[in-house]
Structure formats: C-alpha cells, structure tokens
Amino acid sequence: MQGFLRSDGRKGIRNYVVVAYLVECAHHVAREIALPLREQGVQLIGFPGCYPNAYANRIMRRICTHPNVGAVLLVSLGCESFDRDGLAEIVHQSGRPVQTLVIQQAGGTRATIRDGRAWVEQALAQLHDVPRAEVSITDLVVGTICGGSDATSGLTANPVIGKAFDWLVDHGAAAIFEETNELVGCEEHLASRAVTPELGRELFNAVVKAEDYHRVLGHGSFAPGNAEGGLTTQEEKSLGAYAKSGSRSVAGMLKPGDLPPHGGLYLLDVVPDGEVRFGFPNIADNAEAVELIACGAHMILFSTGRGSVVGSAVSPMIKICANPATYRRLREDMDVDAGRILEDRGTLDEVGREVVDCVLRTAAGQPTASESLGHQEFLLTYKSFEPLGPACLPR
C-alpha cells in the first residue's frame, strides 16, 4: 500500500487540499472556492462558531495536520474569535503549504473567491511533490461508529466490525471505538478488559460520566428510528454497539484530539467533562467521525441498519450495512453487505474478513462508496474537556 509521507512520520492514505472556514460568516466564500474543485481532491471543512472554544481549536489543528491532508487554505471573515494565526502557524510547522485569506481585508466575496481558487489550484500542483512511502498495517489508525442503528446492527455489522478490529489489533494497527454514551450497561465488562486496573477504573468512570450527563439532558443517545427498527432501551442498544469493540484487551483511553501512541485497541471518550454546558455530546454522527479523525483515524468503519448515507471529509467511511432489506434498497451507498448473515448467505467470520479486505483496499487508494458519491460531511460544535489523566495511556 503506497501512501503519503508527512513530516511527523505519519503516513496518509489520501492527499487532500482542505479549505477551512473559521466562522459561519466565511462559509459561503469557502464553499465557492472548494466546490468547483471537489473532484480534484479539494474538501470543505470548518467551524461555524464565532465564540472561542479550546476544543474546537484543538480539533481544527489536528484535522489540518491530519496525515490525509496535504495543504490547507484558511478562510476568515476577519472579526471572529478563532485563532487563525495560531492554526496557520501549526500547519506551516507541519511542512504543509498553508494560506490564510481574510475576507474583510481581501476585498469581499468575489475577490476572496478568486484569490482562494488561484491558491488552491497551485496547491494541487504542489501535492505531486509529497514524498511517497509504503504504508503497513502498523501505520494505520482505524475508527468505528454506528449510525442509523436498528436491532440488526448488533446482530451482524457490529460483531463483524469486532472481528475486523481483532484482526487489526493483532496485526499492530490502532483501532478506536467510542460513543461512551452508548456503552451504558456495559461498563463492568469493558473495565475488565483494560490492560491495567487503573485504566479499567477510567473506562468505568467514562461510562458513568456518560450516563450522568444524559440523565441531566433527559435523553439517552437514542433516535426514533432505533425504536422503529426494534431497539427498545439504551442498554439494549449499548450491548449491540459494544460488539464493535471485538474481544481484545483495551490498551488505553483517548479524548478527542489525542493520538494513540502505539497499536492496540482504544476507547475514545466523547462525553464532555464537567457540567452540561453545550448540550448534546455529539449532535449527529459526523461530529463523532470528526473526533475520531482528530485522533488520527485514516478511515472509519461505519455500521448502519436503517441506512445512513453519510461519508466524511478527510478520512473515508466504509459503510457496513447490517440489515439485508436496507442493503437491497440502498446498495449503491454501501461497501459491505453484513445483513446477508441473517439470510444464511455468509458467516460472521467470512464477512469480518471482507471488512478487513475493504480496509486494505481503501488504504491502498480505492474510493469507498460514499467517497465515490461525493460525500464529505464535516460537523464541529462546542464542547469542553479536561486533559487525559495519567492512567489513561499505560506504557
């Protein structure tokens, strides 16, 4: 598998130019710069908020220096809070071409769009100079989430992802699962898999934190479609979701923006610390994807029962469809048909192997279904986290 070598030693499986708006007021201009060039590997990302937020700042820094990103254009209105100079400096230090356009200084909408497109076109040409390197499985970071779950998710796609995760971890990759708010009910079992008792306590506490947080909100992490599809309670949904983590020991816990220090299985804690300040932990699936990508995930295994069609900017999604009826309806949007297990046309092991093959093909450059359909969703809102405690990443 041939990838792109970055100055920090990490290797990318894609080589995108990202155009990043730093407040909603700069969104239209950034979109007009990026959209005509999207088939050439230019993607639109951004943070809509005007108020400052350390979490959003950290996530944008990680995304703009992600191994799949080759160059960055920042689009600022001019008066927003975002630390655009700090972000530009971080990207510059990473050895990537970076440019900042400030709409209020550049002369408004048309001038900024013109200057932006010109810069992006020359950045695309410069991407050819990025050194190539062999990517091995030990270089890969693979994340997983479920979206649009129904009762089949926990029967087919999630256990199949668990098998793929076992394989990846055994071969030295870093594998990250998350959604601590969907592990409510699984906390004891999860803690028992930790490589140290101290880490086990952190994992347990992360799930308890999620339960307390959602009790204050008055909502579990549960959508109407989950119930229509046969899931009745949060803990039932959690048991199905938990199957994605496979059976290997948990090597550590991360928070959004922390990079796994070596291969192994990691839990990403996505529930904010402290009092409920900004609302739901992740307002939709793509916010979770962005957090995995901020931890360095090259790609995401996305299990769906009801049929989510999203992809993601920066890191491709591999869509694993749990429900055979959904697969028949939305075949073009899916990469793996796990629902066939319910119809005796495949075993968990066979489909698990198919997922691994898809991971390797995607790492080698083959577009996934959602990539081919042009999906590049990106969702980033306000959160706050304390730093990781020392027990979270045992040596």
Partner 1 sequence: MSVNDVPFRGRLLRLAAADNVAVATVDFPAGAVIPLDDGQITLVTLVTMGHKVAVAPIAVGEKIIKYGCPIGSAIRAIHIGEHVHTHNIKSDYLPTHPRG
Could you say whether residue 152 binds partner 1 (CB under 8 A)?
yes
Give me the residues paired with residue 74 across strands: 20, 100
212 binds partner 1 (CB under 8 A): no
From 34-42, 79-87, 151-159, 267-275, span contacting partner 1 (CB under 8 A): 151-159
Choose between 78 and 230: whose C-beta lies nearer to partner 1: 230
| Residue 233 binds partner 1 (CB under 8 A) | yes
CB of 351 to partner 1, least distance (A): 16
Cβ proximity to partner 1, 112 vs 282, nearer residue: 282
Tokens of 48: 């809509």
- State the minimum distance, in angstroms, from the CB of residue 270 to partner 1: 16
Q: One symbol per residue from 300 to 319: x for binding partner 1 (CB under 8 A), - otherwise; what is it?
A: -----x--------------
Q: Which range in 43-51, 231-239, 273-281, 367-375 contacts partner 1 by CB under 8 A?
A: 231-239
Mind giving me the DSSP string for 331-389?
GGG-SEE-GGGGGTS--HHHHHHHHHHHHHHHHTTPPPHHHHTT-----------PPPP
Residue 70, CA distances (Å) to 49, 129, 373 in order: 25, 10, 22
Q: For the residues of 258-279, what is the DSSP string, one character each? A: PPPSSSEEEEE--SPSSS--SS
Is there binding between residue 325 and partner 1 (CB under 8 A)? yes
323 binds partner 1 (CB under 8 A): yes
Buried b (16+ CB within 10 A) or exposed e, 120-159: beebbeebeebeebebebebbbbbbbbbbbbbbbbbbbbb
User: Is residue 148 involved in binding partner 1 (CB under 8 A)?
Assistant: no
The yes or no reply on residue 227 touching partner 1 (CB under 8 A) is yes
Other beta carbons less than 10 A from residue 110's beta carbon:
11
Using alpha carbons, list the distances in angstroms from residue 322 to 224, 251, 349: 18, 28, 15
363 touching partner 1, by CB under 8 A: no
Q: Under rule CB under 8 A, how many of the chain's residues touch partner 1?
A: 32
- CB of 268 closer than 8 Å to CB of 254: yes
Does residue 282 belong to the site contacting partner 1 (CB under 8 A)? Answer: no
Q: How far is the CB of 303 from partner 1 (least distance, A)?
A: 14
List beta partners, residue 133.
Answer: 3
What's the min distance (Å) between Cβ of 305 and partner 1? 7
Q: Where along the sequence are the contacts to partner 1 (CB under 8 A)?
A: 150-152, 154-155, 184-185, 211, 214-215, 218-220, 222, 224, 227, 229-236, 239-240, 305, 323, 325, 342-344
